[in-house]
Amino acid sequence: MNLPNRVKVFAWRVCKNGLLTLQNLRNRKVLEETKCQWCNEEEEDISHALVYCPFIKDYWYNHFSFLKETDVRMDFVQIALTVLSRGNIREIEKLFLMAWDMWYRRNQKLYEDNVLSPEQVVDHALSLHQEHKTNAEEQKKGMKACCCWLPPPTGVLKLNIDEALFHDQYRLGVGMVLRDEHEKVIFSASKPGHEV
Ligand SMILES: [Zn+2]
């Protein structure tokens, strides 16, 4: 996944049930009250906190419609595996970015008394996602550019040698081109090679 490291660490913690949700804090005997602070209806476990709380689930349904179509509530690892099985790596990145921002929103309310709207955090997650997609595409283009022929530095000649296999004649051929820094061909030659 092409994600910021802090989001990768978050994803790993989600998959290991390592987030300090109210349910996990109760299991560690840190507190007794486990009702979600937003809806005050259900126990706050990972999938409720990140996806199924009534205050946020519609945002998920808009972006991952299979969640709406599935009657059974899935745990977050199942959701991630379903997205992964559809084979689009960008979607799994979007999933974790949205979850990470939802967790940030939850912590802001719980620990900072700062209420962010779900729209705000989803917009933030999507703009981060777009930024990462653009960076990944630019990196790809950059790699492609490096694969093109580049002229040598001033005062240096570059010799490229390549060989080709002529299947119909069962022969190898070798060619070479010598060029300067202005891409001017100084010398070129080709030679039929051995029978293969
Ligand atoms: Zn809730």
Q: What is the pLDDT of residues 153-191, one digit of tens each?
A: 787 777 777 766 554 455 566 677 778 888 888 777 777
Average pLDDT over residues 35-41: 95
Q: Look at residue 51 in the predicted model and tell me its pLDDT.
A: 96
- Both tokens of 153, joined, read 């530095």
Contact 35, 43 (CB under 8 A): yes
Q: What is the pLDDT of residues 102-127, one digit of tens each?
A: 999 999 999 999 999 999 999 999 99
Q: How far is CA 146 from the centre of its chain?
A: 23
Contact 63, 41 (CB under 8 A): no
Q: Look at residue 179 in the predicted model and tell me its pLDDT.
A: 81
The alpha carbon of 8 and the centre of ligand 1 are apart by a number of angstroms equal to 25
Considering only residues 191 and 42, tell me which one the structure prediction assigns the higher pLDDT.
Answer: 42
The alpha carbon of 39 and the centre of ligand 1 are apart by a number of angstroms equal to 4
The alpha carbon of 121 and the centre of ligand 1 are apart by a number of angstroms equal to 16
Binned at pLDDT 50, 70 and 90, residue 20 comes out as very high
- Write out the residues surrounding ion ligand 1, Cβ under 5 A: 36, 38-39, 53
Considering only residues 74 and 149, tell me which one the structure prediction assigns the higher pLDDT.
Answer: 74
How far is Cα 54 from Cα 39, in angstroms, rounded to an integer?
A: 7
The alpha carbon of 6 and the centre of ligand 1 are apart by a number of angstroms equal to 25
The alpha carbon of 99 and the centre of ligand 1 are apart by a number of angstroms equal to 14
Of the candidates 67, 39, 64, which has an alpha carbon nearest to the alpha carbon of residue 53? 39
The alpha carbon of 170 and the centre of ligand 1 are apart by a number of angstroms equal to 71
How far is Cα 179 from Cα 167, in angstroms, rounded to an integer?
A: 29
The alpha carbon of 117 and the centre of ligand 1 are apart by a number of angstroms equal to 14
- Both tokens of 115, joined, read 């209420």
The alpha carbon of 59 and the centre of ligand 1 are apart by a number of angstroms equal to 14
The alpha carbon of 56 and the centre of ligand 1 are apart by a number of angstroms equal to 8
Of the candidates 87, 90, 94, which has an alpha carbon nearest to the alpha carbon of residue 137? 90
Asked whether the CA dihedral 3, 119, 47, 68 is positive or negative, the reply is negative
> For residue 58, is pLDDT > 60?
yes
Contact 95, 11 (CB under 8 A): no
Q: Under DSSP, is residue 40 helix (H, G, I), strand (E, B) or coil?
A: coil
The alpha carbon of 52 and the centre of ligand 1 are apart by a number of angstroms equal to 7
Of the candidates 71, 96, 81, 73, which has an alpha carbon nearest to the alpha carbon of residue 14? 96
Length of the chain: 196
pTM here? 0.69
The alpha carbon of 157 and the centre of ligand 1 are apart by a number of angstroms equal to 68
How far is Cα 24 from Cα 93, in angstroms, rounded to an integer?
A: 25
Range with the lowest mean pLDDT among 37-46, 64-73, 182-191? Answer: 182-191
The alpha carbon of 3 and the centre of ligand 1 are apart by a number of angstroms equal to 27
